[in-house]
Amino acid sequence: MTQVPTLRLATRDDIEAVVALHQAAAAKPDGLARRPDEVTRDYVEHALTAPGAVSIVAVGPDGSIWGEIHGRRESVALFAHVLSSLTVAVHPDRQGLGIGSSLFEALIAMPGRWIHRSCGSSWRRVRAIPGLCGSMSASASGRKAGRSRADAILMAASRTTS
């Protein structure tokens, strides 16, 4: 039987576990933009608790954190609808199970928290599209062009909402 994680908002109590998760993901080639030594407690604490921060964790049945996504709302009123510094990490032992997709979908579906993508001179809203992150084919093409997985997914979503 496949174990399914529970998604919930991260708390300060999760900081150490999120540090360990990000370090494990960063140790895998192409795992994260940061190297393991760049994932510090200060970095994670700021990502989870800074003004405008939002973080969701995927928690396994045993209480361990299998994945995490975080971003921060911009503080300038004109850009308050923009979520920046978006990072998603899934433990290497749990990758390929749809956890990252579930985290993206949960973040996008949060009331009042829309992700936008700059498309030339206009902003396009990325709506909660069923299956948006279900296919990672967009991420592979995005990385070939030197873009991140998240950027490629958001670009693909932007094309589907035009």
pLDDT tens-place string over residues 61-80: 999 999 999 988 877 877 77
53: CB partners within 8 A, 6+ apart: 46, 47, 70, 71, 72, 73
pLDDT value, residue 112: 60
**What CATH superfamily is the domain 6-160?**
Gcn5-related N-acetyltransferase (GNAT) (3.40.630.30)
* Confidence band of 137 (pLDDT split at 50, 70, 90): very low
Q: Report which of 108, 110, 118, 102 is spatially closest to residue 151, judged by C-alpha positions.
A: 118
pLDDT tens-place string over residues 75-115: 787 777 677 788 999 999 999 999 999 998 898 887 664 44
pLDDT value, residue 82: 73
pLDDT value, residue 63: 96
- E strand or H helix that includes residue 56: strand 53-59
pTM of the model: 0.69
Average pLDDT over residues 17-43: 94
| Residue 136 contacts residue 126 (beta carbons within 8 Å) | no
- E strand or H helix that includes residue 46: helix 41-49
pLDDT value, residue 8: 94
Domain extent listing, the chain: 6-160
